Amino acid sequence: MILTDYYKGEKLTAAVSRYDVISSTGEYDLFETLLINKRTFNIGGLSFNFITRPDRWSGKKTDNAISKGKDNITSVKRPDVDCEYSFGDIKSTKDACILIYNDDWKKIGIVTIEIIIARGLRNDTNSLWNLLIDGELDHEIKILRERAVTDLVTK
């Protein structure tokens, strides 16, 4: 399989950019340690922020990013702004990721974000994007969704 790990975040609080992980395959060690919540809602669970990319960040110009606290996880590239897909590469790794937003994001905004990891494919994000758009990754995405378990801790 090309795709290896799955994390689904959902807006569960009034926080503008916070997404709590509600299901995952739980096997991507970086996320399992970096995304852990240490205070407020969902302590012990996982969350991330989907933010507008600050201008002060150097490098590629993109509009959004996934972050946790002060740590940038990935800048988000969106080749087709009318599409519910984006992609990026995980900082300080050799891994790529695909982001899938809720189908009705144009009407209600981005409420859920699925982050799908492709380990070792950081330098192949364009090919990964083409496979995704052509529907060639649909079966793998379905398998990862089925393998995912609920992760939400509500303390």
Q: What is the domain partition of the chain in residue ranges?
A: 5-150
**Angstrom distance (rounded) from CA 56 to CA 36:** 26
**Angstrom distance (rounded) from CA 134 to CA 32:** 31
Classify residue 92 as exposed, middle or buried by CB count within 10 Å of its CB (0-12, 13-18, 19+).
exposed
Q: What are the pLDDT digits (tens) for 76-110?
A: 888 888 899 999 999 999 999 999 999 999 899 99
- SS3 call for 2: coil
Q: What share of the chain is helix, strand, coil (3-state, %, to 5)?
A: 20, 35, 45
Q: What are the pLDDT digits (tens) for 107-142?
A: 999 999 999 999 999 999 999 999 999 999 999 999
